[in-house]
Amino acid sequence: MSEHVRVRFAPSPTGYLHVGGARTALFNWLYARKTGGKFILRIEDTDVERSTQEAVDGLLRDMKWLGLTWDEGPEVGGPHGPYFQSQRLEIYHRYARQLVEKGAAYPCFCSEEELEAKRMKAEEEHRSVHYDGTCRRLSKEEVDRRIAAGEPHVIRVKVPEKDYILDDLVRGKVEWKAETLGDFIILRSSGMPVYNFCVVADDADMQISHVVRAEEHLTNTHRQLILYEALGIKPPVFAHASLILGEDKTKLSKRHGATSVGQYAEDGFLREAMINFLALLGWNEGTDREIYSVEELKERFSLERISKSPGVFDHAKLTWMNGQHLRALPVDQLLPMVEPLLKKAMPEETRLQNPEILRKLVELIQIKMNVLNDAVDVARSFLQAGEPENEEAAAMVATEKSQKLFAALADEFSRCEWVRDGYNAAIKAAGKIAEAKGKDLFMPIRVKITGTCHGPDLVGILDVLGRDETLKRLK
């Protein structure tokens, strides 16, 4: 396995890059990186009415955010371009001419009205509804005459009367019986090619060795195998991954929440966590391990370990996994990610302008964050003083013991050295004066200073707030 491995991701630019498409792209990318092969990005934009440049731009942006760099394709180029189907019409016509010239395809002049009548008759007679091959039997002379006369026609491929068997790397043996498919169209009368013909022509022209895609494309494979055989080209190896389901076990859709990769980026998820999560939606190396780096996935991924069982998109698990990756980040990497979020949300907070305080703040909030966007709420909970968050907290700071504690602590804080050992000793001394310890000591102090019962390490909070702000809140 080396450079002869060539895989592709071929999205249609009719909307955003959804989770299912991102997983398909990831599986192909991981396999290319594992084997030293090539990962090709091809844009299937022959649906002129629905394809948009905005969608193309969004696809490329989301692919870049995930880090799924392509070796050939838009913005990169390569020896097998163009990489937009709308720019490859001459290539499709060339392949179609080859099929007609070798007798594997033929012009069909049947009108829509004639075809509809044939469909209705087949249904009445309880026969399979597919093209009956009328124009297959036309002589070359008649075909030439009708084409010369400008008669509209499509191009159909001749479907052999034989069974087709696919040895899929994931699904195993898949069989299609003869007579289940009639001669199907590969070029419309307008000259536009149909989807399955484009796919085969492109994969053949780009020398694709492995087609890794979702299970929903399995129904297309019968036609594609017929076309490969008609062209005299060995088909690629196929691997059809199972669908991704929502938590209600139905096919993942918009109703299950954000399914756009770009939306997850905006919501503060890390690319490393997203890749980790997507990789485990249908792949497992045979262990209970759940956290992987991107480099580890590139080393361990294999097509043979793609599961037949559908993956379930569990948003809570993605959030948990993102938290694991986020907390494992060195502070130097996390700091530039959250700094603009904090400064935009709290522009009046002067402490954020101090690089040393900002770094201490990030160290403090990192352990409480699951997504990057959590930084603002976690930081705000103590950077901006507030009233006790609930009645229980309010009652806690109103007791006579708590008031005595705050007075003693303010006195101790005003005199101690403002380092961790200093204010740890001050808290201990104030606790003795107020006869408070454990929860009765630390919880009232936290509520008085931050307004909340839970949050980052109290000593760390004092580091960030500084002596003056802390004394102000105590008094």
pLDDT at 259 over 80: no
Higher pLDDT, 143 or 384: 143
CATH of domain 391-474: 1.10.10.350
pLDDT digits (tens, 9 = 90+) for 52-71: 999 999 999 999 999 999 99
pLDDT digits (tens, 9 = 90+) for 277-303: 999 999 999 999 999 999 999 999 999
Question: What are φ and ψ of residue 212, in 5° steps?
Answer: -110, 115
Sorted by where each begins, the domain ranges of the chain are 1-73+242-328, 88-241, 331-383, 391-474
CATH class entry, domain 1-73+242-328: alpha beta
Average pLDDT over residues 121-135: 81
**pLDDT bracket for residue 3 (50, 70, 90):** low
pLDDT at 1 over 60: no
CA–CA distances in Å: residue 82 to residues 47, 69, 193: 17, 18, 16
Distance, CA of 423 to CA of 463 (rounded, Å): 9
Count CB-CB contacts under 10 A for residue 137: 9
Average pLDDT over residues 249-266: 80
Residues 6 or more apart whose CB falls under 8 angstroms from that of 54 comprise none
**pLDDT bracket for residue 2 (50, 70, 90):** very low
pLDDT digits (tens, 9 = 90+) for 190-230: 999 999 999 999 999 999 999 999 999 999 999 999 999 99
Distance, CA of 303 to CA of 24 (rounded, Å): 12
pLDDT at 79 over 90: yes
Positions marked catalytic? 254
The greatest distance separating any two alpha carbons of the chain, rounded to the nearest whole angstrom, comes to: 111
Residues 6 or more apart whose CB falls under 8 angstroms from that of 473 comprise 385, 448, 449, 465
pLDDT given for residue 402 in this prediction: 92
**pLDDT bracket for residue 257 (50, 70, 90):** low
* Whether the domain at 1-73+242-328 and the domain at 88-241 fall into the same CATH topology: yes
Domain 88-241 fold is Rossmann fold (3.40.50)
CB 37 within 8 A of CB 6: yes
pLDDT digits (tens, 9 = 90+) for 309-338: 999 999 999 999 999 999 999 999 999 999
pLDDT digits (tens, 9 = 90+) for 44-53: 998 878 889 9
pLDDT given for residue 128 in this prediction: 75
pLDDT given for residue 121 in this prediction: 83
pLDDT given for residue 258 in this prediction: 61
